[in-house]
Amino acid sequence: METRTTTPTHRAKKPKTHQHRARILALQVLYELDVVGHEWQLSLVAHADATHSSGRVVELARTTIKGVLESMPKVDELISTNAPMWPLDQLSPVDRNVLRLALFELLPGSITPPKVAINEAVELAKEFGGEASSRFINGVLGGALDGLGSAGAISMD
């Protein structure tokens, strides 16, 4: 009897970090708040329970959601400036909230390195957005990063 070795048809996914899981949870809550207007705290509890999220993930998500909501005017202005052909209300809710999440992480005072914020946003766009979402997100964030960096708001290192 001949033994054959088979290779997997797909690459194994790397384990998701607490931070990545928290970004997914935050995106789910921001999306629900944006689309249906549910209270974000209740939405966070429901999504955390449904995904069996750890306390650490929930706390990271809570901090991120609060930060995004507090910085929403600035973040939405950055989206409008860096995607002038796409009015905010015409963006898909997923793209809009991925951008909000990432731009919050690019603002001054964030401990997230810019490359990490952009890479994570592109991954979220690939996972939850449309076919062209990741390219769109990458372009908008690249423009925003250039603008923020040239204004001295963040370090390019």
Provide CATH code, domain 18-148: 1.10.940.10
Tell me the per-residue pLDDT of 65-85, one tens digit each, with 9 for 90 and over. Answer: 999 999 999 999 999 999 999
The residues, any chain, with a CB within 8 Å of residue 40's CB and separated by 6 or more, are 29, 30, 32, 33, 65, 69
Query: How confident is the model over 11-58, as pLDDT tens digits?
Result: 445 558 999 999 999 999 999 999 999 999 999 999 999 999 999 999
For residues 44 and 61, the answer to whether their CB atoms sit within 8 Å is yes
